[in-house]
Structure 1
């Protein structure tokens, strides 16, 4: 039953993805766009409507998301075979994909919020899927980080009441100088930064690796983390040329650098790939903030293919290594898992931008267009150093996994007979090889004119070869700890844990509030308030009730005594005043 539902879901998503792709070609060739509105409720002059925008961009992105999610579900048929509640897992993945569809198709902030919140909620359910303390902490960090973005979109919705409709496409060009629209643009940018994990919201992305590997493959390629980039591509005309994009350029470039440096210190296979995703997100955001949304979208699509493949390969390797994720215990996998090694190497080299794999077409074009822009040396330096670092951690990863000696146990059982996983990986491998070339024909009807000096043209090769050399040197050092990079302990600590961002967003924020809460609980709840409110009122009422009971039990005697006492007081008062 479980396998049947998996197969039906895979087939349905795959066919839907193909239909979307052919529709995209038709729309692109005829320069078409379809806008559908369905009114739900009208408040004064503001209508709450469900809007759908079908253009080449939304259809193309949808086809990629549906294709990758169909491969992930097919892969899960084998990867999650031992799972008792496989149907629950498939339903969660389908809800995730549906939320992303809603986000992609919406030109309306209300329906965007539904998709946006749906992604946040379902991602929390998927991150805590393996129910342990680490997963719960990671899930809470993911949910709360994304909640900041949800609040920004909610505030934007309330500010859109100034315009009478929540369809941003109606106003985005006309009211660029309006204060409300500029304010909304800043909020949308902040929301996109939380979802796409830019500094200072970066720490949730590696933490979300607690989710099952098929989910990581879906989340890190085309759904959750790319939602912020896609939203900013749609809002690009509003923010282009503003101070917000200049601010985003610096933060996203720093994110790129930070992720590249931290990946070289990391030994967890999934976290290295997660940090490479963070680096590529920084690249997309930075080229977007330079005013080139088509290039950002192009890199978003090519990156989705090879990153999904990379995670699937990692999942298969972890499966075969008895659920061990430490790369120091792997090695020599090219001898035992040749087909997985082939897929892993090609996806890794595509990530580096090796000609003529899919990553090369977008990455090389981005770097050359950036070199032609009027930028300062700092941003130029960050771009190229980050490119070199990508090569650095990729070569390091390949050496640890493919070349070095196998280090896990003396008796091992590595096999590659899982044809279900391999089939889904080969589909993605084919797309990783051709998607760059196909998309550059489809998306850009006019070629970019690039005019650079020879050294600037070869700059990508220089930093790539330098990164490759450093990765080779580091991989062949015998030390297994991060001390091989260490200049000082503090600097090494700073670089290896994402510039202390996890400390700032978890321990740094939580500790003081929890400490304050425990103090208040001990001193107020169990201290003064208990003494004065709980126990105090109880004691007063108890004493009063004892007095009342005493009166009730000795009724006649008390009345006579009180009557005699009252007469005595009366006579004394009369005697005193006379």
Structure 2
């Protein structure tokens, strides 16, 4: 009963704070307010340690959404992690995770951003290795090592900002725009954001992080860890927009979106399919952000958080019922046995596809129309819409394999919507997955604006979505023949389904190679030449000198006589010269 009370208390605590932050955010939007708080923690002579907090409509709204999703996930975890003896520890880890994210959101200072950033990295490692087995440890290690690259970039940007005399970056973004030092900081911040938001070539850790419990996946992949990079770039957008860096980021993010959409069509693990869809949506956010539309990126960030958390929670419920089986080929016909869960799952899936008047439609359709309106080349335009089609394609494939057809698991099974606490957590998010997009569109874009396009380009998003859905249904309807075709083109399938060999490259070459290089440097420098000419050499010299000194200090008359004769002879030689 004590563990249950921890979940319930955490749920009410986070939910109440979420409501307070949302109402405050509405007040800030209406009155166009920004509050900058400086708290002097310690003052010693002329030095002072100051904690700064930035509260505007963006930080308050984002905090509200993070806390709301966290409250639903913790409530859901009470049922999902019911048999776990360490549920108390799990809830505390999740709360630490949320606290780190909140710390990152409200920080206008690079030092405090680093504290939140590293807090996310450390707690995510603890959560990924929560189920203690070799696979989890490997996944945790690749997550931690990949994110360390971004942490180092952030540390270097802190060092570079010493040139300005303060780490409050918001003071310098506009008027130091073309400065060389700010350009270097922009490159470092973008590198940090690319590692945290898993853009190419740092994408391999995101599907690997699925080793964590499903409630953690719902939290990590919706509103916290992976969105930290996007949020950081939203804050720093003035630095890199309309530069070569933004063009490079656009290319990498669009390729990430395409690669993830293609890979999800070859994946059979339920959680990894949803993880790859997160990667695809992160590519969409990053790409529109690199084109300068930071408010649209933030809009999609919020709507995506709502339906992606719901999608993971439904997947967790299905996995729970399927006795921890995650292979979609073992599912089928679940809509007959779990109608409520499948309804939530389908609504979240349709929101992901951008079905009109669900949450994803308002942001995704607007982004695609803005891309049609912008000056982008044919390759970027083609990849944008192809990736949108692939999203609907793998969503239709997921629905076909898991929800329809015949049940392909053990005939002795008791699958039903019996986990009421989990269902309540899902239904809490269901309302916002339906209404959240329209609500946010009125808040973020209060002035009506019209995107004027030719009819074909205006309908392009809908046409591509319908074509992707039809293609997905037609191809994956023939399971046996399609699997045979896959086996014939094994190399191509292996390449596309394995994220273009990125996990192999980053694990075998980058991480293993860097660790091997570090081991070699330690052996050659620290424990080699440095030791030989440094500590060991000094020790030998000191040891020999002390032996001579000790020998001379023995009270032996012969020694003193020899030394006396030596000095007399030296004096005579000097006098003769």
Structure-2 change in CA distance of 1:35 and 1:470 (3 Å): same
Structure-2 change in CA distance of 1:230 and 1:473 (3 Å): same
Is 1:32 equivalent to 2:33 in the alignment? yes
Aligned-residue RMSD, C-alpha? 2.2
Which segment drifts farther, 159-168 or 307-316? Answer: 159-168
Q: Distance in 1 between matches of 2:129 and 2:168?
A: 35
Q: Distance in 1 between matches of 2:173 and 2:136?
A: 40
1:74 CA displacement: 0.2
1:43 CA displacement: 9.4
Is 1:335 equivalent to 2:324 in the alignment? no
Q: What does residue 213 of structure 1 align with?
A: 214
Aligned length: 527
- In the alignment, is the contact (CA less than 8 A) between 2:476 and 2:482 conserved in 1? no
Q: Deviation digits for residues 418-450 of structure 1, max 9, x if unmatched?
A: 110001101100010000000000111223321
Q: Deviation digits for residues 372-411 of structure 1, max 9, x if unmatched?
A: 0011000000100000000000000001111121111121
Structure 1 runs (4+) deviating above 6 angstroms are 42-46, 513-521
Is 1:272 equivalent to 2:273 in the alignment? yes
Gaps of 5+ in 2: 537-577
Q: Distance in 1 between matches of 2:45 and 2:250?
A: 40
Q: Distance in 2 between matches of 1:39 and 1:67?
A: 31
Query: What pairs up with 1:559-578 in 2 under 5 angstroms?
Result: none
1:485 CA displacement: 4.4
- In the alignment, is the contact (CA less than 8 A) between 1:92 and 1:126 conserved in 2? yes
Q: What does residue 360 of structure 1 align with?
A: 361
Q: Deviation digits for residues 336-376 of structure 1, max 9, x if unmatched?
A: 00000000000000000000101000000000001000110
- In the alignment, is the contact (CA less than 8 A) between 1:332 and 1:406 conserved in 2? yes
Which segment drifts farther, 479-488 or 356-365? Answer: 479-488
Find the residue that maps to 2:199 and give its secondary structure: coil
Q: Distance in 2 between matches of 1:58 and 1:399?
A: 39
Which segment drifts farther, 453-462 or 244-253? Answer: 453-462
Q: What does residue 504 of structure 2 align with?
A: 503
Q: Distance in 2 between matches of 1:511 and 1:162?
A: 35
Find the residue that maps to 1:52 and give its secondary structure: strand
Q: Deviation digits for residues 273-303 of structure 1, max 9, x if unmatched?
A: 0000000000000000010000000000000
Q: What does residue 244 of structure 2 align with?
A: 243
Q: Distance in 1 between matches of 2:482 and 2:119?
A: 40
Structure-2 change in CA distance of 1:483 and 1:265 (3 Å): farther
Q: What does residue 68 of structure 1 align with?
A: 69
Gaps of 5+ in 1: 538-578
Query: What pairs up with 1:145-294 in 2 under 5 angstroms?
Result: 145-294=146-295
Q: Distance in 2 between matches of 1:517 and 1:32?
A: 50
- In the alignment, is the contact (CA less than 8 A) between 1:48 and 1:110 conserved in 2? no
TM-score by length of 1: 0.88
Find the residue that maps to 1:225 and give its secondary structure: helix
Q: What does residue 475 of structure 1 align with?
A: 476
1:477 CA displacement: 1.2
1:16 CA displacement: 0.2
- In the alignment, is the contact (CA less than 8 A) between 1:58 and 1:104 conserved in 2? yes
Q: Distance in 2 between matches of 1:53 and 1:180?
A: 24
Which segment drifts farther, 155-164 or 333-342? Answer: 155-164
Which segment drifts farther, 63-72 or 457-466? Answer: 457-466
Q: Deviation digits for residues 507-559 of structure 1, max 9, x if unmatched?
A: 233555678899999xx99xxx9xxx9xxx9xxxxxxxxxxxxxxxxxxxxxx
Structure-2 change in CA distance of 1:485 and 1:464 (3 Å): farther
Q: Distance in 2 between matches of 1:362 and 1:446?
A: 16
1:24 CA displacement: 0.5
State which structure, 1 or 2, has the greater radius of gyration over its C-alpha atoms. Answer: 1
Find the residue that maps to 1:467 and give its secondary structure: helix
TM-score by length of 2: 0.88
Q: Distance in 2 between matches of 1:238 and 1:338?
A: 49
Structure-2 change in CA distance of 1:513 and 1:51 (3 Å): closer
Q: Deviation digits for residues 245-271 of structure 1, max 9, x if unmatched?
A: 110000000000000000000000000
- In the alignment, is the contact (CA less than 8 A) between 2:475 and 2:482 conserved in 1? no
Q: What does residue 121 of structure 2 align with?
A: 120
Find the residue that maps to 2:51 and give its secondary structure: strand
Query: What pairs up with 1:537-576 in 2 under 5 angstroms?
Result: none
Q: What does residue 308 of structure 1 align with?
A: 309
Q: Distance in 2 between matches of 1:158 and 1:15?
A: 39
Q: What does residue 321 of structure 1 align with?
A: 322
Q: What does residue 412 of structure 1 align with?
A: 413
Structure-2 change in CA distance of 1:45 and 1:163 (3 Å): farther
Q: Deviation digits for residues 476-495 of structure 1, max 9, x if unmatched?
A: 11328755346733222111
